[in-house]
Amino acid sequence: MTTATKTILTAAHWGPMLVETAGDNVLSSRGALPTAHPNSLQTAVRDQVHSKARVRWPMVRKGFLASPEKPQGVRGQDEFVRVSWDEALDLIHAQHKRIRENYGPASIFAGSYGWRSNGVLHKAATLLQRYMSLAGGYTGHLGDYSTGAAQAIMPYVVGGNEVYQQQTSWPLVLEHTEVVVLWSANPLNTLKIAWNASDEQGMSYFEALRKSGKRLICIDPMRSETVDFFGDKMEWIAPHMGTDVAMMLGIAHTLVENGWQDEAFLARCTTGYDQFARYLTGESDGVAKTAEWAEAICGVSATTIRELAQLFHQHTTMLMSGWGMQRQQYGEQKHWMLVTLAAMLGQIGTPGGGFGLSYHFANGGNPTRRAAVLVSMQGTVKGGHDAVDKIPVARIVEALENPGGFYQHNGMDRHFPDIRFVWWAGGANFTHHQDTNRLIRAWQKPELVVISECFWTAAAKHADIVLPATTSFERNDLTMTGDYSNQHMVPMKRVVAPRDEARDDFEVFADLSERWEAGGRARFTEDKTDLQWLESFYRIAGERGAAQGVTLPPFATFWEANAILEMPESEQNARFVRFADFRRDPEKHPLKTESGKIEIYSRRIAEFGYGDCPPHPMWLAPDEWHGNAQPGQLQLLSAHPAHRLHSQLNYSSLREQYAVAGREPMVIHREDAKARGIADGDLVRVWNGRGQVLAGAVVSDGIRPGVICIHQGAWPDPDEGGLCKNGAVNMLTKDLPSSKLGNGCAGNTALAWVEKYHGAAPALTAFDPPASA
* Residues designated as active site: 113, 115
Please, what is the Cα angle at 625 between 620 and 631, to 5 degrees? 140
Q: What order do you get walking across the sheet with 317-321 strand by strand?
A: 234-237, 215-219, 179-183, 317-321, 354-356
Q: Where are the beta strands (DSSP E) in 340-385?
A: 354-356
Which stretches within 319-376 are classed as H helix? 332-345
Residue 27, amino acid: L
Burial class of residue 98, CB neighbours in 10 A (0-12, 13-18, 19+): middle
Type of residue at 702 = G
**Closest of 35, 96, 54, 312 to residue 183, by C-alpha:** 312
Q: Which among 36, 371, 374, 29 has a CA at the least distance from the CA of 202?
A: 36
User: Rounded CA gap, 442 and 424, in Å?
Assistant: 15
Let me know: does 336 contact 153? Beta carbons within 8 Å.
yes
* 637 touches 686 (CB < 8 A): no
User: What number of helices (H) and strands (E) belong to the chain?
Assistant: 26, 30
In degrees, rounded to 5, the angle at the alpha carbon of residue 33 between the alpha carbons of residues 32 and 35 is: 125
Distance CA 366, CA 581 (A): 20
For residue 412, the cross-strand partners are 409
The C-alpha atoms of residue 490 and residue 199 are separated, in whole angstroms, by 11
CA distance 746 to 38: 32
What is the C-alpha separation between 87 and 59, in angstroms, rounded? 10
| C-alpha count within 13 angstroms, C-beta hemisphere, residue 41 | 26
| Element containing residue 274 per DSSP (H, E) | helix 273-281
What element of type H or E holds 634?
strand 634-637
CB atoms within 10 A of CB 49: 23
Contact 737, 743 (CB under 8 A): yes
